[in-house]
Amino acid sequence: MIPAIEQEVGTTTVESRPQPAATGRAGPRIEPSRLRRKADLLVALSLADMRARYGRDPLRFLKWMLDSMALVAVYLVLRTIILDRGGPAPGLSLACAVVPFHLMMMTVFNSMMTVRERQAIVLNVGFDRILLPASSACTEAIAFAGSLLLLFALMAIYLVGPTLAILWLPVVMLVTVTFTVSCAYPASLFGIWFPEWQNIARSLVRMLFFLAPGIISLNEIPAGAQDWVKLNPLTGIFEAFRDVLLYGDSPAAWELLYPLGFALALFVIFLPIYRREERHLAKVI
Amino acid sequence: MAGSVANSVVADRVGVRFWFDSHRRVTTPGRARLAFHPQTTWGLQDVSFGLGGGEGLALVGPSGSGKTTLLRVLGGVLAPDAGELSVRGSVGSLLSIDAGLTPTLTGRENAVLLAVLAGLSRSEAREALPEIEAEAALGEAFERPASSYSQGMRARLALAAAEQSRPGILLLDEVHEALDHEFRLRLVAHAEAILAAGGIVVAAGHDHEILSRLCNRAVWLEEGRVKADGAFREARDAYLKAHAAPAPG
Q: Which residues of A touch B96 (CB under 8 A)?
A: 120, 123-124
CA distance B241 to B238: 5
Closest C-alpha among B75, B94, B64 to residue B11: B75
Name the closest residue on chain B to residue A53, using Cα atoms.
B104
Q: What is the mean pLDDT of residues B128-140?
A: 93
DSSP of A103-136: HHHHHHHHHHHHHHHTHHHHTT----TTHHHHHH
For chain B, first and last CA: distance in Å? 55
Residue type, B120: L
Residue A232's region, left for phi above 0, alpha for psi from -120 to 50, else beta, is beta
The torsion defined by the Cα of B188, B191, B193 and B195, in degrees rounded to 10, comes to -130
CB atoms within 10 A of CB A84: 7
B212 reaches A (C-beta below 8 A): no
Name the range with the highest mean pLDDT among A115-124, B174-183, B218-227. Answer: B218-227
Could you tell me the pTM of the whole model? 0.86
pLDDT at A281: 93
Give the whole-number percent of chain B exceeding pLDDT 70: 94
Q: Is the pLDDT of residue B22 over 90?
A: no
Mean predicted confidence (pLDDT) in A175-190: 97
> Which region holds residue B107: left if phi is over 0, alpha if psi is between -120 and 50, else beta?
alpha
Q: Pick the closest to residue A100 from A203, A208, A185, A200 (CA basis).
A: A208
C-alpha torsion angle, residues B10, B117, B155, B60 (rounded to 10) = 20
Q: How many CB atoms lie within 10 A of CB A284?
A: 21
The pLDDT of residue B180: 75
Of all residues in chain B, what percent carry a pLDDT higher than 90?
Answer: 62
Chain A nearest-CA distance from B228, in A, is 24
Q: In A, which residues are within 8 Å of B116 by CB distance?
A: 40-41, 44
List all residues 6 or more positions away from B184 whose beta carbon is below 8 Å from its beta carbon: B176, B210
Q: What is the mean pLDDT of residues B216-232?
A: 95
Residue with more model confidence, A22 or B245:
B245
Task: For residue A172, give every residue at least 6 positions away whose Cβ sits within 8 Å of its Cβ, in sequence order, or none.
Answer: A237, A240, A241, A244, A251, A256
Q: Which of A2, A10, A51 sits opposite B90 (nearest CB)?
A: A2
From B31, B85, B165, residue closest to A3, measured CB to CB: B165
Q: Which of A209, A52, A43 is nearest to A131 (CA)?
A: A43
Instruction: Collapse the DSSP code of A138 into the 3-class scheme (helix H, G, I; strand E, B; otherwise coil) and give the result.
Output: helix
CB contact under 8 A, A192 and B124: no
The rounded Cα A223 to chain-centroid distance in angstroms is 29
**Identity of the residue in A123, A125, A276 whose CB atom sits nearest the CB atom of B117:** A125
Mean pLDDT of chain B: 89
d(CA B66, CA B220): 10
What is the complex's ipTM, to 2 decimals? 0.88
User: Which residue of B77, B84, B109, B166 to mutate against A (max A Cβ within 10 Å)?
Assistant: B77
Query: Which chain B residue lies closest to A193 (C-alpha atoms)?
Result: B31
Interface contact B111, partner A, CB < 8 A: no
- pLDDT at position B98: 76
Looking at the DSSP bridge assignments, the partners of residue B60 are: B220
Which residues, numbered 179 to 198 in chain A, qualify as contacts with chain B under a Cβ-Cβ cut-off of 8 Å?
Answer: 189, 192-194, 196
Which residues does chain B have within 8 Å of residue A18's beta carbon, measured at their own beta carbons? 4-5
Pairwise CA distance, residues A30 & B165, whole Å: 23
User: If we measure between CA atoms, which residue out of A142, A145, A146, A119 comes closest to residue A132?
Assistant: A119
pLDDT for the residue numbered B93: 87
Q: Could you tell me if B112 lies within 8 Å of chain A, comparing CB atoms? A: yes
Burial of A77 (0-12, 13-18, 19+ CB in 10 A): exposed
Query: To 10 degrees, what angle do helices A223-230 and A233-242 make?
Result: 110
Q: Is A11 on the interface with B (CB under 8 A)?
A: yes
Backbone region of residue B137 per phi and psi (left: phi > 0; alpha: psi in -120 to 50; beta: other values): left
Give the residue-averaged pLDDT of A210-215.
Answer: 93
pLDDT in tens, A14-52: 444 333 333 334 445 567 888 888 999 999 999 999 888
Kindly state whether A39 is in contact with chain B, defined as any CB-CB distance less than 8 angstroms.
no
> Does B129 touch chain A if contact means CB atoms closer than 8 Å?
no
Helix H, strand E, coil C: the string for chain B is CCCCCCCEEEEEEEEEEEEECCCCCEECHHHHCCCCCCEEEEEEEEEEEEEECCCEEEEECCCCCCHHHHHHHHCCCCCCCEEEEEEECCEEEECCCCCCCCCCCEHHHHHHHHHHHCCCCHHHHHHHHHHHHHHHCCHHHHHCEHHHCCHHHHHHHHHHHHHCCCCCEEEEECHHHHCCHHHHHHHHHHHHHHHHCCCEEEEECCCHHHHHHHCCEEEEEECCEEEEEEEHHHHHHHHHHHCCCCCCC
User: A23-40 in b/e burial notation, b at 16+ Cβ within 10 A?
Assistant: eeeeeeeeeeeeeebeeb
CB A8 within 8 Å of CB B83: no
Does the beta-carbon distance from B119 to A283 stay under 8 Å?
no
Does A15 contact chain B (CB < 8 Å)?
yes
Distance CA A219, CA A238 (A): 12
pLDDT of residue A4: 34
Q: Give helix then strand counts, H and E, for chain A.
A: 11, 2
From A115-119, B49-53, B93-97, the region with the lowest mean pLDDT:
B93-97
Element (H, E) at A27: none
